[in-house]
């Protein structure tokens, strides 16, 4: 599922970073924390890799 906004894409990137162990889970807030808990690594990779071009800031 591709991201629908820049904010969603960035939150997915933060959650993916925590899944990979590059960042502490305790640093996550809001949407990124929810994504970390509810999505697997493959889903997060797909959402985080979505191009930002033409996406609204928030959806």
Q: List per-residue pLDDT tens for the chain, 59 residues long.
A: 788 999 999 999 999 999 999 999 999 999 999 999 999 999 999 999 988 888 888 76
Nearest 10 degrees: Cα torsion 9, 13, 16, 17: -170
Rounded CA-CA distance 6/20 in Å is 21
What does the pLDDT read at residue 48?
Answer: 92
Q: What pLDDT, on a 0 to 100 scale, did the predictor assign at position 59?
A: 66
Give the pLDDT score at 30: 95
pLDDT at 26: 95
Taken in order 24, 29, 34, 39, the sign of the CA dihedral is negative
For the whole model, what pTM was predicted? 0.86
């Amino acid at each position: 599922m591709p991201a629908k906004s820049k904010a969603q894409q960035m939150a997915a990137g933060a959650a993916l970073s925590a899944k990979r162990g590059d960042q502490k889970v305790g640093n996550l807030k809001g949407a990124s924390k929810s994504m970390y808990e509810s999505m697997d690594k493959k889903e997060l990779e797909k959402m985080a890799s979505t191009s930002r071009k033409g996406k609204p800031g928030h959806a």
